[in-house]
Structure 1
Amino acid sequence: MILNARPQTKGAWFTNALVPAALTEGFALGASDAGNGLASFDFGITAEGRLTAERGDAKPVDLQGRMVLPTFVDSHVHFDKAYIVARTGIPDGGLMEAVRLSTADAGNWTAADLRARMTRALTRAYHNGTSAMRTHLDTPVMPADSPAWQVFCEMRRDWAGRVDLQAVALMALERVEGPDFAERCQQIADMGGILGAFIAPNTATPERLDSLFTCARAAGLDVDFHVDETLDPKANALELICDSILRSGFDGRVMAGHCCSLRSAAPADLARITGKVARSGVHVVSLPHTNLFLQDRASGRTPALRGITAARELAAAGASIHFASDNVQDPFYPYGDFDMFDSFRMAVRAAHLDSDIAAWALRQFRTAAKACGFDHHGRLSAGASADLILFDANNWTDLMSRPAQDRVVLRAGEPLPSQIFNLRDLFAMEPS
């Protein structure tokens, strides 16, 4: 099979695929390997573009052991900052310089500018195989007055059926003390959003967090934090979040992004905090590209520390942990293509997850979907829409080694046209 062709897929029966067994539902799997979690997988696509376990008289297509994955959930991105690096430049220093460069560019974020960049972001994510995304939107003003929120609501409507979208109203934790905070929460709820808080160093207190969760509960909001985005082992906001949840019994979904300081925690502190994360039900999302780029970054020297959170220790404690893209082509991470496969591959390599990739794939798909409430994403289910990614790889090592372009994305059973420009096309062009 040639992966850059557009095969006839609707009405076909596919044999000899390989799939992570834990990511299927309603299919009889063939030979499996407990060591790598992969199983042989036959499936069909109906004329209506749905997955089926019934072959009928469908034409067989032998996939020859190639791997199939569900479409991705990307649970933490920043549409409002994407693709501004050409205007801002790349920071010499770390997080705070990236914040300064981004803030200085915010005057350019008109509705037209935001619309163009958000459309570009969604187009790239869609063609790379992502079907659900959660974006953070800087919200220093009231949400109803925010151009970013207005454009996001347009995108959510226009992309429905292609990419399911959620948005987080990101603001400093100190906003909880303002007289308009309850109204802010109600506006976020009215717009179908999520309450977000960036916790700067030394700003988390039990009182502020308790107040935030009280207001979130009153408005029926889930909560999403930027927290402990530092390698300082004294950073303790994640633990304070867990303590507040355990005190209050808050039962909405809570996500905590970054959590880099766990990487530097002493063993006893790490065990205590990861245990609280598990008990409180907080979903940790690690953001390898951005954190490896910004943490321990200083002009003129090579970083000595790895900025990724303690992913393996969180998993060992029974806590919820997965990975996401975060920033793309902005001062926080000047590269990237809204490609969740690239983010997952980076996580496997940087966090040394290769000993049990199948378990991490389960977290990457099902845990990410559960953390956001994207319930029908992250698995291949008989009867569901045929949304999947076919890779030119026959095992995990192949998958983690081959160029990211070697894939075919199917949505509702139809292969998406490739967005990759082939250099050979240059030689077919007419001279100008």
Structure 2
Amino acid sequence: MVFDTVLRNGRIAGLHGPVDIGVRDGRFAAIGAALGAPDSAREFALDGRLVTGGFVETHIHLDKSCISDRCACRTGTLKEAIETVAAAKLAFTEEDIYARGRRTLEKAILQGTMRMRTHVEVDPRIGLKGFRAISRLKRDYDWAIDLEICVFPQEGLNNDPGTFELLVEACESGADLIGGCPYTDSDPHLQIARIFELARRFDVDVDFHLDFDLDPSWMHIDEVCRKTKAHGWGGRVAIGHVTKLSALEPQALQRVAAKLSQAGVAVTVLPATDLFLMGRDATHSVPRGVAPAHRLCEQGVVCSLATNNVLNPFTPFGDCSLLRIANLYANVAQTGRADQLEACFDMVTTLPARLMNLKRYGIAVGNPADLVVLDCADPASAVAELAQPVLGMKRGRISFWNAPATINRPEPRQE
């Protein structure tokens, strides 16, 4: 068989021993031991390193990344973050959003992310500036990453006249899905209903920011699950944050997990942001505020771990590494066994691919040749050691190369 590229001696999770991976016409053409290749084929020696289908980012905000220097924050609360960003975005321009989004997107690409869902704010203050800027990024970087745009009303819908019409315009202009943020709305249940109305009208998936506090006495999860069932939207709805779940006792958590699983509602946990914002009123024994994704997975809920914000009041740090997010979650959730670390790896690869309903994801013959090579031998080591991405390939083309660091040893001393 003729190949364009052959990657030698790579390890694929679930397969025993190193294999060769043959790529032709932008797709995986063969996977096996000692693949033959003509002299014209490019070859890369992987030396037993792990090969994965690329990281999948399900929840990030490119449009408001890299603005920490514009926001003076004192309390570090969610309320303050929303207010300071709302004030800052009055000065956003389309070019400004594009430039900051590009900076963040390129970081994600270099960290091995190949598919991404970014939430973009739409309201009468920002209009469609963010949507247009991120749509340009989607086109300009499609050689390295598949970008999905979720438009949503960060500051409310029913209390913000003109926002619904802008969401409609964005959907008519090609937004990939619709999002919501009920906890900022004057009528949360009505917002949920109207978001599902738009989802049905444009036949798109839904992704809510939801239940973002530590009071478990009430939740909007129930209404989202009810609407998901009523509209037959199971498998097409995701909810992010849901920090309330971190405050539930085990039996209550099981009941909520069963409800989510039965309704077909997926969950995205955002450890960096949730750790930073939650529990701000505690003077000691500060709650972590991170929903237990691994426990939800055990109950059949599709879960992902994601970045959320980068260098802004919601999260004033971040390098766009999903491995770092998985490692952070493992620390917080106290999941250190090899099988638990592998589950964390799944929550930044295969499970978010399911959440986003991605077709033909992963390293298999016939799939698009999208892959990332990590400087480790297995998924558990990748999470535990924060393994460096060495090489990325998108549709058969090398999208980045990051040579492993080497120690510059001195010459042997002469006795």
Q: Same fold (TM over 0.5)?
A: yes
Match of 1:53 among 31, 45, 61: 31
Please state how far the C-alpha of 1:64 moved relative to its aligned partner: 4.2
Asked if the contact 2:119–2:151 (Cα under 8 Å) also holds between the matched residues in 1, the reply is: yes
Q: In structure 2, how many angstroms separate the alpha carbons of the residues matched to 1:395 and 1:367?
A: 17
Distance in 1 between residues matched to 2:159 and 2:79, nearest whole Å: 23
Letter in 2 for 1:285: T
Question: 3-state SS of the aligned residue for 1:46?
Answer: strand
SS of corresponding position for 1:336: coil
Letter in 2 for 1:123: E
Contact 1:128/1:409 (<8 A) preserved:
no
One-letter amino acid of the structure 2 residue matched with residue 216 of structure 1: A
Whether the 8 Å contact between 1:90 and 1:331 is mirrored in structure 2 is yes
Cα distance in structure 2, aligned partners of 1:237 and 1:376: 33
Aligned position for 1:261: 244
1:287 aligns with 2:270: yes
Q: Match for 2:20 among 13, 32, 43?
A: 43
Checking the alignment, whether the CA contact within 8 Å between 2:304 and 2:355 is kept in structure 1 is: no
Matched residues in 2 for 1:202 and 1:111: separation?
26
Structure 1 residue 65 displacement after superposition: 3.3
- Mapped partners of 2:210, 2:22: distance in 1: 43
Match of 2:181 in 1: 198
1:347 aligns with 2:304: no
SS of corresponding position for 1:76: strand
> Contact 1:13 / 1:58 at 8 angstroms: preserved in 2?
no
Partner of 1:430: none
For residue 142 of structure 1, report the CA deviation from its aligned partner. Answer: 9.1
**2:409 aligned with 1:409, yes or no?**
no
Q: Is the 8 A contact 1:142 1:184 kept in 2?
A: no
The offset of 1:63, in angstroms, is 3.9
Counterpart in the other structure of 2:286:
304
Aligned to 1:224: 207
User: What's the % identity of the aligned pairs?
Assistant: 25
Q: Deviation per CA, 1:171-212, whole angstroms, max 9, x where unpaired? A: 158525888676445323222222211121785654543343
Q: Is the 8 A contact 2:275 2:289 kept in 1?
A: yes
Distance 1:181 1:94, change over 3 A: closer
2:8 to 1, 14, 19: 14
Which residue in the other structure is 1:315 paired with? Answer: 297
User: Which residue, 56, 81, 92 being the options, matches 1:98?
Assistant: 81
Cα offset, 1:120, TM superposition: 0.8
2:357 maps to which residue? 373
Is the contact made by 2:389 and 2:402 (CA closer than 8 Å) also made in structure 1? no
Contact 2:372 2:389 in 1 (8 A): no
Equivalent-residue separation in structure 2 for 1:131 and 1:101 (angstroms): 31
How many residue pairs match? The answer is 396
Higher RCO (C-alpha 8 Å, min separation 6): 1
1:388 alignment partner, one of 358, 365, 371: 371
Query: 2:292 is matched by which residue type in structure 1?
Result: A
State the alpha-carbon separation in 1 of the partners of residues 18 and 407 from structure 2. 35
Distance in structure 2 (CA, Å) of the matches to 1:104 and 1:179: 18
Q: CA deviation at 1:13?
A: 4.5
Which moves more between the two structures, 367-376 or 234-243?
367-376
Residues 16-48 of structure 1, C-alpha deviations (whole Å, 9 max, x = no match): x33222xxxxxxx4x3xxxxxxxx241223365
Shift of 1:409: 2.6
For normalisation by structure 2, the TM-score amounts to 0.84
Q: Sort the Cα spacing of 1:253 and 1:176 in 2 relative to 1 into closer, same or farther, 3 A.
A: farther
Three-state SS of the structure 1 residue aligned to 2:199 is helix
Given the superposition, is the C-alpha separation of residues 251 and 179 from structure 1 closer, same or farther in structure 2, using an over 3 Å criterion? Answer: farther
Q: Alpha carbons of 1:155 and 1:396: their partners in 2 closer, same or farther (altered >3 Å)?
A: closer
Q: CA deviation at 1:290?
A: 0.8
CA contact (8 A) 1:72 1:340 kept: yes
Task: Give the structure 2 partner of residue 108 of structure 1.
Answer: 91
Tell me which amino acid in the other structure corresponds to 2:11.
L
Taking structure 1 as reference, are residues 303 and 49 closer, same or farther at Cα in structure 2, changes over 3 Å only? Answer: farther
Residue by residue over 1:115-156, the C-alpha shift from the partner in whole angstroms, topping out at 9 and shown as x without a partner, is 11011111111121111111111111299x411111112112
Residue 101 of structure 1 contacts residue 331 of structure 1 at CA under 8 Å; is this kept in 2? yes
Task: Mark the CA change 1:87 to 1:47 in structure 2 (over 3 Å): closer, same or farther.
Answer: same
Structure 2 residue aligned with 1:164: 146
Which piece of structure 1 moves more, 356-365 or 328-337? 356-365
Task: Report the 3-state secondary structure (helix = DSSP H, G, I; strand = E; otherwise coil) of the residue aligned with 1:380.
Answer: coil
When residues 160 and 126 of structure 1 are mapped into structure 2, their CA distance, relative to the original with a 3 A threshold, is same
Structure 2 gap ranges (5+) = 409-415
SS in 1 for 2:179: strand
Q: Residue in 1 aligned with 2:223?
A: 240
Deviations 1:376-419 (A, max 9, x none): 33x11223343222222234554234355463333325262439
TM-score w.r.t. the length of structure 1 is: 0.81
- 8 Å CA contact 1:223–1:252 kept in 2: the answer is no
Q: Please give the secondary structure, in 1, of the residue aligned with 2:63.
A: coil
TM-aligned CA distance change 1:206 to 1:421, over 3 Å: same
Letter in 2 for 1:56: G
CA distance in 1, matches of 2:169, 2:22: 42
Deviation at 1:279, TM superposition (A): 0.9
CA separation in 1, counterparts of 2:157 and 2:139?
29
* 1:12 and 1:58 in contact (8 A); partners too: no
8 A Cα contact 1:45 1:386, kept in partner: no
Contact 1:127 1:419 in 2 (8 A): no
**How far apart, in 2, do the equivalents of 1:118 and 1:382 lie?**
33
- CA RMSD in angstroms, aligned pairs only: 3.1
Quick one: distance in 2 between partners of 1:327 and 1:111? 19
Higher mean alpha-carbon deviation, 53-62 vs 219-228, is at 53-62
After TM superposition, give the deviation of residue 338 of structure 1 in Å. Answer: 1.6
Note the C-alpha offset of 1:286: 0.5
Could you tell me whether the CA contact under 8 Å between 2:178 and 2:198 is conserved in 1?
Answer: no
Q: Shift in Å at residue 334 of structure 1?
A: 0.8
Question: Residues 360 and 368 of structure 2 are in contact (CA less than 8 Å); yes or no, is this contact kept in structure 1?
Answer: no
CA 1:107 to 1:42, structure 2 compared with 1: closer, same or farther past 3 Å? same
